[in-house]
Structure 1
């Protein structure tokens, strides 16, 4: 007969911090008093589904357990005993965390089923309930109260208070791509609230070009480093940062430029943890664009089934993500592109209709389709009058960029005839709170996992080739996303 043990508790720590400990399948010898030492067999990662941990207990028993599932969205993992000197037969366990909004605490549910030799049911059930679960709750509380240094056994912690040599791209002055130059520098220790990251992929966005040209001088001055997003792994954390482990894979988007470098300090509030299925290059290529699309579709202009969305540059990286996702949510997507080759890409990524135009003329064709209920515009100056003409009554024009130059001042009376609305949203306002950032990122990873969006084609450049990458970004020949590899 199978025994079942169920225990729950509340931990006075945010769920991200508790999960950072428990998702590491090899951390238990650092916080649970019954475990003497533990290792992951075969050199696999300790968050790799299927990995096996081999550990000894302080009473001399030995156990091998296998990680069966790990769900970063549901904060849930399952594992089983593969082999043990303790007679827990067919043992399978589940750990589940849920947020407790009162005080930003964490509800931890731990349960297992197992068989025992006849006559030992009570003994082994108490051992699991008291010696493993109840003791584990108390041990983890104490561990977190001490600050919880969670480096792997035998891994030396990287000193926080030293600068690290790295390379960065420096903007010499406003102008063309030749103004981007490489230089040697140092990444200082992380300040309070910051995480120092070893970057492995850096995303390029058109806002980087605007910064380089001097179109947003308040954002980046000469001498600074462009770039708003990247992915990599945690080196160490500054004072007051909890919930991130050394070597943990993370990505970020940040309203302060500075991503074109090998090592960077980033405020912890802008970081998201990466699921195992999302690699660094995909994260760097998608995070800012994907969260921009999420904000547009769910907040700026919530999708109504059948609404006509006119998306410019539909074959670009943002365009591909937005068109697919909007189509999956029920919109009728009309894309504009400059070539027939790009039209094929746009059709393959959710566009029901594609308008091919190399001279920014699309309004008549859009009106022939009924007019645009929503326009997503990254073109700017050259498309300004056509956008006004393409709007349907009560339409909404969203201005995201100015690839052809800044918009002229918009006369409110120009919108009056159609009772139209105009907005210029920026994604950072929609992810300013860590909870909002985590929620939107989870929705993006879920859309990627369920096929609502496909990973765009990614072109790779070395960090030293940032100038060439900018030239490629500005060309009208490309489609998909660009990343820099430090």
Structure 2
């Protein structure tokens, strides 16, 4: 007969602190009195779905359990018993946390179902309910009330060592030839930081602007380019309670420095990766996907019937905009520099593609849709006059980049002629808090999983070949996303 055990308790600690302990599938030997010793098999990270923990109870029983699900947004984990000397068959348990509105406390709900041998139902029910769950509530309260040195996760054991890595350094502003791969030392992560072993680094046109010296205040020399990367957490600094060694993560950081094999990053700029998103895809998608999200949702307010003009429609951001906007039933017009790129843009949902290597596109835009309601412009100087001519009344012109050169000062009277509006957004103002970053990243991952966004087309370069990646991007021959692999 199937047994069900349900127990709940309120823990006098913030939900982030309770989750910090419970999400570690191998932490129970630190806080639960019934557990003698535990290990994760095959050296896998203790937060990886599918990992197996093998542990011994103080009464001599042995159990192997597998992590079936883990959600950092729902504060929920599910696991099952694979084999045990205790006669619990088909045992599946779920732990769920919720914040308590009355004070900074946590509601902990723990439930399980299992089969028990005939005649032992009550015995095993009480063992789980009292010996495991109720005792666990009491044990965790005691553990969290202990001095901070005791409550610090064992995962930080290696957080005090300086490590050696490689970085691509820019000694002076100029061309791609100025990028040089050198050895470097990475200190332990400071308070609020995570140290990440980077597997993939995103390359963006913004990196080229910095390399050319267009924003020297953001990149003093010598400097390291790169705003995004993905990899695995190595260790964490003091005060970091939501990331652990072994976690697969990506980040979007307002301070350059991603062209490295190893980097310390403020935890507020880091997001955990879903199981079905690998590091290369994350490095190719995070900044571009978040950019597409705020352009469509916040600035463009794209809805069915919106006439959206996207420049570089076959590029990293452009292809995402075309795909996402077409799902929103917008009319998407894109410009590209070649017929080959036109085919790519069409495959991503661009309804009307204009091949305009000479930056002349306004007449075609007017012919296709009668003018644009929203323009996403990464062209810069070469596209000013054509954008003004391609815009319909009340169009919103979003200047996202300046591939053809810096945008000249814009005469406000020229906007008045059509009641145009103009904006020059910076992505980091749209992910100014960890919650904003997480929400936008989650929308990107969901859109990818649902097929709304296409899997990124990635051109891969070795980290030491960053200069070649820059040449490729500047040539306007690249399509999709460029990624440096370490």
Note closer, same or farther for the CA distance 1:482–1:20 as it changes in structure 2 (3 Å cut).
farther
Note closer, same or farther for the CA distance 1:192–1:43 as it changes in structure 2 (3 Å cut).
closer
Partner residue in 2 for 1:178: 177
Would you say 1:453 and 2:453 are equivalent positions?
Answer: yes
Partner residue in 1 for 2:431: 431
Partner residue in 2 for 1:121: 121
50-59 or 351-360, which moves further after superposition? Answer: 50-59
Partner residue in 1 for 2:402: 402
Report SS of the residue matched to 1:157.
Answer: helix
Pairing of 1:227-266 with structure 2 (within 5 A): 227-266=226-265
**CA displacement 1:362-412 (0-9 Å, x = unmatched):** 111111212111111111110011111111211111111101011111111
**CA displacement 1:111-158 (0-9 Å, x = unmatched):** 112233344333322222222122223333444554644447xxx931
Q: How far does residue 45 in structure 1 lie from its aligned partner after superposition? A: 4.6
Note closer, same or farther for the CA distance 1:350–1:144 as it changes in structure 2 (3 Å cut).
farther
Contact 1:380/1:401, CA 8 A, preserved across alignment: yes
Note closer, same or farther for the CA distance 1:77–1:237 as it changes in structure 2 (3 Å cut).
closer
Aligned pairs, number: 482
Partner residue in 1 for 2:39: 39
Q: How far does residue 14 in structure 1 lie from its aligned partner after superposition? A: 5.1
User: Could you list the runs of 5+ residues in structure 2 that have no partner in the other structure?
Assistant: none
Partner residue in 2 for 1:69: 69
Note closer, same or farther for the CA distance 1:324–1:139 as it changes in structure 2 (3 Å cut).
farther
Partner residue in 1 for 2:464: 464
Partner residue in 1 for 2:200: 201
Would you say 1:111 and 2:111 are equivalent positions?
Answer: yes
Note closer, same or farther for the CA distance 1:52–1:473 as it changes in structure 2 (3 Å cut).
same
**CA displacement 1:308-327 (0-9 Å, x = unmatched):** 11111111111112211122
Partner residue in 2 for 1:440: 440
User: In angstroms, what is the RMSD of aligned CA positions?
Assistant: 2.2
Contact 2:314/2:479, CA 8 A, preserved across alignment: yes
- Counterparts of 1:142 and 1:390, CA distance in 2: 67
Contact 1:396/1:420, CA 8 A, preserved across alignment: yes
- Counterparts of 2:336 and 2:15, CA distance in 1: 44
- Counterparts of 1:386 and 1:141, CA distance in 2: 66
Partner residue in 1 for 2:311: 312
Report SS of the residue matched to 1:472.
Answer: helix
Report SS of the residue matched to 1:200.
Answer: strand
Partner residue in 1 for 2:57: 57
Q: How far does residue 261 in structure 1 lie from its aligned partner after superposition? A: 1.3
Contact 1:9/1:109, CA 8 A, preserved across alignment: yes
Would you say 1:478 and 2:478 are equivalent positions?
Answer: yes
**CA displacement 1:64-99 (0-9 Å, x = unmatched):** 223333344433332222322223233221222344
Q: How far does residue 185 in structure 1 lie from its aligned partner after superposition? A: 1.9
Q: How far does residue 220 in structure 1 lie from its aligned partner after superposition? A: 0.7
Contact 1:17/1:244, CA 8 A, preserved across alignment: no
- Counterparts of 2:483 and 2:17, CA distance in 1: 30
- Counterparts of 1:433 and 1:15, CA distance in 2: 18
Would you say 1:344 and 2:343 are equivalent positions?
Answer: yes
Report SS of the residue matched to 1:456.
Answer: coil
Partner residue in 2 for 1:323: 322
Question: TM-score, normalization: structure 1?
Answer: 0.93
Report SS of the residue matched to 2:453.
Answer: coil
- Counterparts of 1:459 and 1:17, CA distance in 2: 40
- Counterparts of 1:51 and 1:467, CA distance in 2: 39
Note closer, same or farther for the CA distance 1:366–1:50 as it changes in structure 2 (3 Å cut).
same
- Counterparts of 1:404 and 1:3, CA distance in 2: 68
Partner residue in 2 for 1:271: 270
Note closer, same or farther for the CA distance 1:449–1:10 as it changes in structure 2 (3 Å cut).
farther
- Counterparts of 2:158 and 2:388, CA distance in 1: 56
Contact 2:169/2:224, CA 8 A, preserved across alignment: yes
- Counterparts of 1:112 and 1:406, CA distance in 2: 61
Contact 2:336/2:353, CA 8 A, preserved across alignment: yes
Report SS of the residue matched to 2:77.
Answer: strand
Contact 2:49/2:69, CA 8 A, preserved across alignment: yes
- Counterparts of 2:465 and 2:370, CA distance in 1: 44
**CA displacement 1:318-373 (0-9 Å, x = unmatched):** 11122111222222221111111111111111212111110111111111212111
Contact 1:41/1:53, CA 8 A, preserved across alignment: yes
Partner residue in 2 for 1:78: 78
320-329 or 46-55, which moves further after superposition? Answer: 46-55
Partner residue in 2 for 1:158: 158
- Counterparts of 1:19 and 1:349, CA distance in 2: 40
Note closer, same or farther for the CA distance 1:15–1:350 as it changes in structure 2 (3 Å cut).
farther
Note closer, same or farther for the CA distance 1:445–1:138 as it changes in structure 2 (3 Å cut).
farther
**CA displacement 1:208-255 (0-9 Å, x = unmatched):** 000011111211122111110111122222222222112222111110
Question: TM-score, normalization: structure 2?
Answer: 0.93
Contact 2:311/2:335, CA 8 A, preserved across alignment: yes
- Counterparts of 1:144 and 1:300, CA distance in 2: 44
Report SS of the residue matched to 1:136.
Answer: helix
